[in-house]
Amino acid sequence: MSRYRGPRLKIIRRLKALPGLTSKRPKYRNDSINRSSSRKISQYRIRPEEKQKLRFHYGLTERQLLKYVRIARRAKGSTGQVLLQLLEMRLDNIIFRLGMAPTIPGARQLVNHGHIRVNDHMVDIPSYPCKPQDVITIRDQQRLRSIIKKNIDLFQRDKLPNHLTFNSLQYKGFINQIIDSKWISLKINELLVVEYYSRQA
């Protein structure tokens, strides 16, 4: 299954807030909210929906997400927590979390176009796994700096996660450590995602 390129608000209406997919919020009529909240969710539907939240938020294909689940299973610790840490440490997500792009697709575009450097080396792979002590910078272009500044002013969160630091004068991000699970912005039950894939096997 390929990466989703359709209308994003349609996904938000079904799966609720996905900050990595879009910063927009759908407009609901009061009666439609009451109708949707009173609707009982089937037990068969919960696990696929949690999996879809993860996919759409991080902009992954089905194959990519399955690969991350397999890597998380082989690692030490809770599979669900390791899975979220792997996804959060992707370069496109780090760019988004630093506030340099409004969404993860926007961050992916910056990386794909070769605007991002990791430890002074140009990296154009959005899935590049970042590590503690990595330094994220941008190409020294005036137009690019103005775009990044605008994004930071609009979209940088009130408080950066404790695993990241951003120097707004040098447009430089630092990865201090592996992310703590309490800083993961997506409301998701990652254990249901692991269960979904264990049932598929």
Domain ranges in the chain? Answer: 8-86+186-200, 90-177
- Cβ atoms 1, 171 nearer than 8 A: no
**Could you tell me the fold of the domain covering 8-86+186-200?**
Ribosomal Protein S4 Delta 41; Chain A, domain 1 (1.10.1050)
Domain 8-86+186-200 shares a fold with domain 90-177:
no
- Cβ atoms 4, 11 nearer than 8 A: yes
- Cβ atoms 101, 154 nearer than 8 A: no
Strand partners, 115: none
Only one residue has tokens 């630091």, namely: 165
The amino acid that residue 58 corresponds to is Y
- Cβ atoms 110, 88 nearer than 8 A: no
DSSP of 114-174:
T-EEETTEE---TT-B--TT-EEEE---HHHHHHHHHHHHHHS-SS--TTEEEETTTTEEE
pLDDT tens across 32-89, in order?
A: 444 444 455 666 678 888 888 888 888 888 899 999 999 999 998 889 999 999 999 9
pTM of the predicted protein model: 0.80
Helix and strand numbers, DSSP H then E, in the chain: 9, 5
- Cβ atoms 138, 115 nearer than 8 A: yes
pLDDT tens across 124-174, in order?
A: 999 999 999 999 999 877 888 888 888 887 766 557 888 899 988 888 999
Closest CA to 148 of 164, 129, 169, 165: 169
pLDDT bucket at 27, cuts 50 / 70 / 90: low
CATH superfamily of 90-177: RNA-binding S4 domain (3.10.290.10)
